[in-house]
Chain A
């Protein structure tokens, strides 16, 4: 009878239970691993053989067949090593299990039989719990991450021998969680919004964008502080709920970038891919359809600096994920769906020379328009707030000038978010004002009379489309929420009207 050990495989951000079956058959010595494993799994035979020998066990001089069931699903990763090794030891009678409970086993082996950390631990442990597995063995380095899951007993080990001893009940398990790494988690990078001087007006819009989840586009000449401001946006974002944090950690775990950090990600992610990013790196893909930047920015900020320099197709590929808040990557044999609910923050120059509006700029209006058209209408349409960032003349600033701190701004954001959470409590998939559809806008964006009058005035003056009209209402809603006002007041409308500089700019260009 074959020996069976439980392990797990990853598919998207979810994992499923895999039976690692080991059978020795009389015949020429060889190992065959079947069950659609990738190269990393095929190479497990060398690592396992070396590790078994290193731990002073005997590797069977027989034909060894290893099957990863279900056998018709593609599997990848090096975390099956430990399960395979344990399976072989059981099959050859070198390990006599005293502990009879069901164990899930995850871990990569080194040639001298140590256990190495793996990616995707969190979803695998969640899958184990959901499959009714009560105990799980993981590499010691991953114990922090595995312990995030409640309702399952986690055992962390350093070497193959320790695992065998534990299963034979020769040694009592001593938990020795590493706590040192946890501290590294909450590193504030020492950046704060009060470093940004003289841009209070702009910062107000950024606070609103953060509060309402509105996408934000900053336009400004080189060196005016766009990136400086963007980098500080995570410092004012509301903290994540437990569920949100778990979602993010899962994605990072699958993407394999959690290894070093372990533990739960509590800070909202901030991703800023360079503008030569390929479409696949942005939305996800590659050989194993791994998550892209938009999924890594899930529940956080995706910052596209120099958005006009991104490939057109790459930008357009963002449209659907922005609408659905998730992305499905299809390959012939399988599809992976990753969550991708992010706030898009983008920065660009106003024209190709970068100095539009100053004496230095010699771009013609047609060139300016051409440059701005690099960003397609649909993408521009999704940018609720488009603000100019004007360089600050330091002569105008008094010396004792100090802007609002990130902490005080964050509190305002949190307060506004709370109002929104109550508003959309019954709505599934809607967390903030930016996600409101037309029906919800009608229901929740009720204007006071003089506010309505002002908006109509702007509507006629700038000849807005009906769609733009709704955008302004959404932004005005967030402005009202910032003050806790139930109705949208005149001042909210006035501020919202100033939220889309580019649209007004268009009217000023001498173009057809």
Chain B
């Protein structure tokens, strides 16, 4: 292990060169032991590189990293570990060492869900529905723990009891964004939080590019939920394209600024995403572990409560049926209902409270009531 960390921390050598060396020597320990001449004989290794590898002959750094990892309860995933998915290795720049907290399950390749940090209600709805579906199918949800879409995808997956992996652009002990501290902890309990960066690494813009690559490499399909013209999610998509992964995107209004990136993806050949079933992975070994409950997809705000259960069969009072009829067309605020029914607000609240408890109507976050069918 210490040799792996030594190798990955060598200055001037990236994943590609590291893999060349590994191909030749098979194990990092042999690279460590190799003489300068032997190193130079590896194709692609120049004399200066070989020299610097030989000069860095100390494992002190690697041991202190290992101490720190043990202290912080972080684990290491090395390139030849069977848990390191073959598909993820398709990315030439795939790191040879990854640090993680949690558990990496056998066959952790899944579906990536990415999108903008500042997302719309629509984007949230799409992300939550997709992640919820994947959780019930037993497919890992891969994302980047950023605000917005990423956060919703992880959260919805965890809430449905699924397995999710979060790839970070910083050390595992750095909490970024800080609102996601608890989410990060929850993911390491029911999934894995992974980073190629040493503990203590602060989030830097260039790190996130690498992280985006990791997300793509781990995803057989990538759902780009919402992306503006210059969104980071587009970089994830271009990695995925280079790796020949399936890219999906839901349609957005053409004037909608926050959907221009995804619409562009669609134009460039991404699959039009219309329903979560499109995210199924055919060759996935594990079959559905959970059965999907019957639920309305339209109401994100109430997605956690199962309404149909409470629905009692009873005859509506005249006032209630008036309200019911009005809500049939569209959702309405209490003021609108007051004007349309002529019933005063206090009485309406009373009726709506009872109807809400019985699971007939729901109050959405914008303050209007809608029917639940």
Q: Which residues of A contact B (CB under 8 A)?
A: 198, 200-201, 204, 356-359, 362, 364-367, 369-370, 388, 390, 392-393, 396-398, 454, 457-458, 461, 490-491, 494-495, 497-498, 504-505, 507-508, 510-512
Docked CA distance A390–B128 (Å): 26
Q: Name the CB-closest residue of B to A204.
A: B346
B339 near A494 with CB under 8 A, answer no
Chain B neighbourhood of A505, CB < 8 A = 365
Q: Of the candidates A204, A366, A388, A458, which one forms a contact with B151 in the assembled complex, judged by CB atoms under 8 Å apart?
A: A366
Q: Is the interface of A mostly helix, strand, loop or mixed?
A: helix
Chain B neighbourhood of A198, CB < 8 A = 335, 338
B350 near A356 with CB under 8 A, answer no
Docked CA distance A505–B339 (Å): 26
Which of B156, B158, B366 is packed against the most chain A CB atoms within 10 Å? B366
> Is B310 an interface position by the 8 A CB rule?
yes
B345 near A200 with CB under 8 A, answer yes
Q: Name the CB-closest residue of A to B358.
A: A457
Docked CA distance A398–B335 (Å): 11
Docked CA distance A10–B34 (Å): 90
Docked CA distance A356–B367 (Å): 10
Q: Of the candidates B301, B310, B345, which one forms a contact with A508 in the assembled complex, judged by CB atoms under 8 Å apart?
A: B301
Q: Name the CB-closest residue of B to A205.
A: B349
Q: Name the CB-closest residue of B to A450.
A: B354
Docked CA distance A367–B357 (Å): 28
Docked CA distance A365–B353 (Å): 25
Known pairs A362-B119, A454-B357, A510-B300 / 15 extra A-B pairs, C-beta < 8 Å: A200-B345, A200-B346, A201-B349, A362-B118, A366-B180, A390-B334, A390-B335, A396-B335, A454-B354, A461-B310, A494-B354, A495-B346, A497-B357, A505-B365, A508-B301
A204 near B155 with CB under 8 A, answer no
CB distance from B292 to the nearest CB of A (A): 18
Docked CA distance A396–B339 (Å): 7
Contact with A along B25-49 (1 / 0, CB 8 A): 0000000000000000000000000
B179 near A370 with CB under 8 A, answer yes
CB distance from A401 to the nearest CB of B (A): 9
Q: Name the CB-closest residue of A to B180.
A: A366
CB distance from B302 to the nearest CB of A (A): 6
Chain B neighbourhood of A397, CB < 8 A = 335, 339
Contact with A along B289-315 (1 / 0, CB 8 A): 000000000001111110000100000
Known: A357-B367, A392-B335, A508-B365. A457 touches B349 (CB 8 A): no
Q: Of the candidates B147, B302, B357, B365, which one forms a contact with A357 in the assembled complex, judged by CB atoms under 8 Å apart?
A: B365
> Is B99 an interface position by the 8 A CB rule?
no
Which of A392, A398, A512 is packed against the most chain B CB atoms within 10 Å? A512
Which of B152, B301, B365 is packed against the most chain A CB atoms within 10 Å? B365
Task: Give residues of chain B (75-115) contacting chain A, Cβ–Cβ below 8 Å.
Answer: none
> Is B124 an interface position by the 8 A CB rule?
yes
Known: A494-B350, A510-B152. A364 touches B117 (CB 8 A): yes
Chain B neighbourhood of A490, CB < 8 A = 354
Docked CA distance A369–B155 (Å): 14
Which of A356, A366, A367, A497 is packed against the most chain B CB atoms within 10 Å? A366
Docked CA distance A92–B366 (Å): 80
Chain B neighbourhood of A359, CB < 8 A = 120-121
Chain B neighbourhood of A454, CB < 8 A = 354, 357
Docked CA distance A94–B358 (Å): 88
Ordered by A's residue number, 21 sampled pairs between the chains whose C-beta atoms are within 8 Å are: A201-B345, A356-B365, A357-B365, A364-B148, A364-B151, A364-B152, A366-B179, A366-B180, A367-B179, A392-B335, A397-B335, A457-B310, A457-B358, A461-B310, A461-B357, A494-B357, A495-B350, A508-B301, A508-B302, A511-B155, A512-B159
Docked CA distance A457–B358 (Å): 8
> Is B215 an interface position by the 8 A CB rule?
no
Q: Name the CB-closest residue of A to B183.
A: A512
Q: Name the CB-closest residue of A to B312.
A: A457
> Is B336 an interface position by the 8 A CB rule?
yes
Chain A neighbourhood of B367, CB < 8 A = 357, 388, 390
> Is B182 an interface position by the 8 A CB rule?
yes
Chain A neighbourhood of B198, CB < 8 A = none
Docked CA distance A366–B367 (Å): 20
Chain B neighbourhood of A504, CB < 8 A = 363
Chain A neighbourhood of B148, CB < 8 A = 364
Known: A458-B357, A504-B363. A362 touches B304 (CB 8 A): no
> Is B52 an interface position by the 8 A CB rule?
no
CB distance from A181 to the nearest CB of B (A): 42
Contact with A along B327-356 (1 / 0, CB 8 A): 000000111101100001110111011100
Q: Name the CB-closest residue of B to A363.
A: B118
B147 near A364 with CB under 8 A, answer yes
Q: Name the CB-closest residue of A to B187.
A: A512
> Is B186 an interface position by the 8 A CB rule?
yes
Q: Name the CB-closest residue of A to B355.
A: A494
CB distance from A41 to the nearest CB of B (A): 54
Which of B118, B303, B353 is packed against the most chain A CB atoms within 10 Å? B353
B155 near A510 with CB under 8 A, answer yes
Q: Name the CB-closest residue of B to A508.
A: B301
Docked CA distance A245–B347 (Å): 36
A510 near B350 with CB under 8 A, answer no
A200 near B344 with CB under 8 A, answer yes
Q: Name the CB-closest residue of B to A496.
A: B353
B152 near A365 with CB under 8 A, answer yes
Docked CA distance A260–B344 (Å): 45
Q: Name the CB-closest residue of A to B347.
A: A491
Chain A neighbourhood of B304, CB < 8 A = 507-508
Q: Name the CB-closest residue of A to B153.
A: A510
Q: Of the candidates B124, B180, B310, B357, which one forms a contact with A510 in the assembled complex, judged by CB atoms under 8 Å apart?
A: B124
CB distance from A350 to the nearest CB of B (A): 9
Q: Name the CB-closest residue of B to A207.
A: B346
CB distance from B286 to the nearest CB of A (A): 24
CB distance from B111 to the nearest CB of A (A): 18
CB distance from B361 to the nearest CB of A (A): 12
Chain A neighbourhood of B357, CB < 8 A = 454, 457-458, 461, 494, 497
Task: Give residues of chain B (174-201) contacting chain A, Cβ–Cβ below 8 Å.
Answer: 177, 179-180, 182-183, 186
Chain A neighbourhood of B147, CB < 8 A = 364, 366-367
B353 near A512 with CB under 8 A, answer no
Which of B301, B334, B357 is packed against the most chain A CB atoms within 10 Å? B357
Docked CA distance A495–B345 (Å): 11
Task: Give residues of chain B (103-155) contacting chain A, Cβ–Cβ below 8 Å.
Answer: 117-121, 124, 128, 147-148, 151-152, 155
Chain A neighbourhood of B348, CB < 8 A = 201
Q: Name the CB-closest residue of A to B305.
A: A507
Docked CA distance A365–B125 (Å): 12
Chain A neighbourhood of B338, CB < 8 A = 198, 200
Q: Of the candidates A358, A364, A393, A512, which one forms a contact with B158 in the assembled complex, judged by CB atoms under 8 Å apart?
A: A512
CB distance from A313 to the nearest CB of B (A): 21
Docked CA distance A186–B147 (Å): 54
Q: Name the CB-closest residue of B to A491.
A: B350
Q: Name the CB-closest residue of B to A198.
A: B335
Q: Name the CB-closest residue of B to A220.
A: B367
Chain B neighbourhood of A392, CB < 8 A = 335
